[in-house]
Structure 1
Amino acid sequence: MNESTVPTGRAPALPLSGLKVLDLSRALAGPFCGMILADLGADVIKVEPPDGEMVRTWGPFQDGISVYYLSIHRNKRSVALDFRDPRGLELLREMAAGVDILVENFKPGVMEAMGMAYETLRERNPGLVFASITGFGRGGPYSDWPGMDQIAQGMSGLMSLTGQPESGPTRVGIPIGDVVGGMWATLGIQAAIIERQRTGQGQRIDISLLGGLVGLLTVQGQRQLSLGQTPGVAGNDHPVICPYGTFAAADGPFNMAGATDDMWASICRLVGLEELIDHPDFDSNTKRAARRDEVKRRLNERFATRGKMEWTQALVKLGVPAGPILDLQQVFSDPHVRQTGMVEEIEHPTIGRLEQLANPIRMSSLGGRSVRRAPPLLGQDTAAVLEGFGLPPERIQALLDAGVVRGIEQGDS
């Protein structure tokens, strides 16, 4: 047996073990990025004001703790620090000198005003990967506009594609701009870390909510760029494939994706519409898409005779992708969701048993689990984190006594 493969009895290192992250971000995009890095093993230190960042006040609440906060801060450590105190800012700069990654999503100019511009920080830490998430990016006429998720959804064109013809543009049901911005930032950070292994140098990464969503437009964006076609709201139908969308069974809607001619033939045989398989009006996807309303009408007449799960199972058996439309209560009670580990359980210091969404990445080095630490209480790790940065106990105590930082014993339990 190779020496490197001899079992040691210790858990394998997580993919990003050894990387230290200073997370100065707020709300969602930056914290979501930090959570992914933490899930993958980085030591993510969330720094927030002594009274907590804004999302701690956003309801609803579980046992007095913001559900919003719980949803995006697992696996992190918390430091409460006064950003307005010069001693707090100097401490932040010291910490930035000792980390691999810094994540921030302040308005443009705020980091510079705090004396923490990338150009300043890299003088002490040339290997620093500095990830900045803004609404509209640096440069351009909107660069100093405040950015929020729904504003970016609208300006990216995403809302113009989402919704029903009768309702008009509709936002996505989650803050997709923030989530996607955080995911793009995570991807850029990991690429920068890999490049640093070759060059020894860090770099600045700029992600905008607007750019992150424009980068998702895929075929709809290419239709506009290549053909000058301006798509409108697609409702629950695929914009270019038919039959692909939502259909009406006897007990409610379900989704089906008949993406090929062979699938079309299988669907027709299943519902007793064999005459449509080779009909000159429906014998290609282009023709079916041009007659989408008639295709849906003919299929729905047959689908109305049986339940959605019965149709789903029959279609899946034929190799046609299909599935019921579930609400979240149904999702989290679904046996497949549970058996594949999409929800994990952790012990929270005040809530007790806490269920959390799992990271969907499956890797052998993650050990089959992504939620290892509960979302921290405010200031829960202040003293331990500062000690890890080399601060002596007397300096830590002086900072606590002066209110520059706050520990768990000074906060709510």
Structure 2
Amino acid sequence: MTDDRKPLTGIRVLDFTRVLAGPYATALMADLGADVIKVEAPGGDEYRHIGPFRDGESALFQTANRGKRSIVLDLRSPGDLTVARDLALRADVVVENFRPGVMARLGLDAATLQALNPRLVYASVSGFGQSGPNAARPAYDIIVQALSGLMALTGEPDAAPTMVGEAMADVAGGLFAAWGIMVALFDRSRTGQGRVVDLALFDALLSMMPSAGARVLVCGADPVRTGNRHALSAPFGVYPAGQGHFAVAVLNDKLFSAFCAVIGQPGLRDDPRMASDESRRAHEPVLAEAIAAWAGGLTAAQAVAALSAAGVPASELASARDAWLSDQARARGLVSAVTHPVLGSVGLPEQPVHFSGSPRGMRRAAPGLDEHGAEIRAELGK
């Protein structure tokens, strides 16, 4: 049995956030049917003015604000501030990412709004949270990557720490913010009371590194960069073929036995240096040499085909373009088309979770600045 109802249909979100982390959280909620009202300053979200651009429209803004409605409110204006408060009192969720203290000065803080709307879920998304020595510190993604230790773990051992090639602190923050909000909504369905959700990008990114956390907290270690090699096992990384590179993941004795058979080195299975994951990692150069001898006469695709046929996890290296346009991404519905007044029909990312009985897609494009201002004011009787 199917219907057109998405899981968050009927939930209204008042979104005061800008740039990426907060907007990404609310975009995920819009994907799932929430009515997200994006409150923008007169000049608009900064992301409207950051490229790449197509026909004058920011691609980044389109992806981070898909499915929302826009209203311009100057929160320094008493009249517009009243509109913001009225919207908050009718909302299920308020999300903001101002510096700590800004919303309190405006009378839009959690304590003030929840006193009038006890069912309100109020989420604050910031670089370092509402407490701690760094609470007031400004942060963009690279700052959080640097302080979280992620950059120290990324890159080749003899090279400089490296930023991950996507805004992972912002994305992790958006994911955990959306998760926290929806947990609070579930709790409200049982208690009738909203909650305050305090999400820091720093916290989110640390939580996305459980392996490093285990090594630090349980073993007392100080993890270091290992490049394209796994820290704890081998062969587990990226290796060259005669043409191209491929990734292979061998993480137990059964896979190692199959791997040895594929590369024509069955004797490695009985080599005492290869008796465990830990020992294999310590002698990874021996395995890298064996892989080079085997794969040097193959293309990456041929190496992957041989390993995969034996049940050894392996893959060619795809570009981001190849991945987004792949048959697998298409089959999984990871891109859905929207109609934009300037761009026409354009594909945008879709949230990745499939829900039975709930359609994917069927959403509006990112809004123009104040595109829905009159409509939203009319709903308030303004």
Provide the rounded CA distance (Å) in 1 between the counterparts of 2:173 and 2:190: 26
Please say if 1:16 is aligned against 2:21. Answer: no
SS in 1 for 2:194: coil
Q: For 1:313-354, what per-residue CA distance to the aligned partner results, in whole angstroms no more than 9, with x for missing partners?
A: 221221111111111232234222223322222211111021
Aligned residues of 1:359 and 1:370 also touching (Cα < 8 A): no
Counterparts of 2:375 and 2:306 in 1: how far apart (Å)?
A: 57
Correspondent of 1:254 among 241, 246, 249: 246
| 2:4 match: secondary structure | coil
Q: Deviations over 1:152-210 (max 9, x none)?
A: 11111111111111322111111100110011011111111111111111011100011
Match of 1:386 in 2: 377
SS in 2 for 1:354: strand
Alignment of 1:305-324 (within 5 A): 305-324=297-316
Q: Does 1:45 align with 2:26?
A: no
Map of 2:361 onto structure 1: 370
Q: 2:93 aligns with which of 94, 97, 101?
A: 101
Within the candidate set 130, 145, 160, 2:152 is matched to 160
2:274 counterpart SS class: coil
**Equivalent residue for 1:132?**
124
Name the CA distance, whole Å, in 1 between partners of 2:122 and 2:80.
20
Say whether 1:215 aligns with 2:207: yes
Equivalent pair of 1:49/1:82 in contact (CA under 8 Å): yes
Inter-partner Cα distance in structure 1 for 2:101 and 2:146:
25
Is residue 287 of structure 2 the alignment partner of residue 295 of structure 1?
yes
Q: Deviations over 1:274-333 (max 9, x none)?
A: 110111111221210111222222212211211111111221221111111111232234
- The alignment yields a C-alpha RMSD, in angstroms, of 1.4
Contact 1:82 1:88 in 2 (8 A): yes
Measure the CA separation in 2 of the matches of 1:160 and 1:72.
28
CA distance in 1, matches of 2:278, 2:45: 52
Distance 2:309 2:178 in 1: 38
Task: Tell me the CA shift for residue 12 of structure 1.
Answer: 3.0
TM value normalised by structure 2: 0.97
**In structure 1, C-alpha distance between the alignment counterparts of 2:292 and 2:367, rounded to whole Å:** 50
Whether the 8 Å contact between 2:337 and 2:361 is mirrored in structure 1 is: no
Q: Would you say the 8 A contact 1:316–1:322 is kept in 2?
A: yes
What residue is the counterpart of 2:138 in the other structure?
146
Question: What are the Cα deviations for residues 35-82 of structure 1, in whole angstroms up to 9, with x where unaligned?
Answer: 011111111111101221111111111110111101211111111222
Pairwise CA distance, 1:371: 5.4
Q: CA separation in 2, counterparts of 1:328 and 1:157?
A: 25
Matched, 1:73 2:65: yes
- Asked if structure 2 preserves the Cα contact closer than 8 Å seen for 1:75 and 1:371, the reply is no
Deviation digits for residues 248-285 of structure 1, max 9, x if unmatched? Answer: 11111111111111111111111111110111111221
* Distance across 2 between alignment mates of 1:385 and 1:90: 13
- Per-residue CA distance 1:15-54 (angstroms, 9 max, x = gap): 0111100000010010000001111111111110122111
Q: Is the 8 A contact 1:74 1:371 kept in 2?
A: no
Unmatched 5+ stretches in structure 1: 396-413
> Pick from 51, 65, 89: which aligns with 1:59?
51
Distance 1:295 1:364 in 2: 45
SS state of the match for residue 323, structure 1?
Answer: strand
Tell me the distance in 1 between the aligned counterparts of 2:186 and 2:327: 38
**Letter matched to residue 372 of structure 2:** D
Q: Equivalent residues in 2 for 1:177-188 (5 A)?
A: 177-188=169-180
TM-score scaled by length of structure 1: 0.90
Q: Distance in 1 between matches of 2:113 and 2:221?
A: 46
Give the 5 Å matches for 1:196-211.
196-211=188-203
Per the alignment, residue 24 of structure 2 pairs with 32
Match of 2:259 in 1: 267
Distance 2:377 2:151 in 1: 44
Structure 1 residues 311 and 371: alpha-carbon distance in aligned structure 2, compared to 1, 3 A threshold: farther
Q: Which amino acid aligns with 1:119?
A: A
Instruction: Specify every segment of 5 or more residues in structure 2 that has no aligned partner in the other structure, as ranges.
Output: none
* Structure 2 residue identity aligned to 1:370: G
- State the secondary structure of the residue aligned to 1:132: strand
CA distance in 2 between partners of 1:333 and 1:57 (Å): 26
319-328 or 125-134: which moved more? 319-328
Shift in CA distance, 234/371, structure 1 to aligned 2, threshold 3 Å: farther
- Show structure 1 runs of 4+ deviating over 6 A: none
Distance 1:371 1:54 in 2: 27
Counterpart of 1:114, as a letter, is: L
Q: How many Å separate the matches in 1 of 2:321 and 2:131?
A: 44
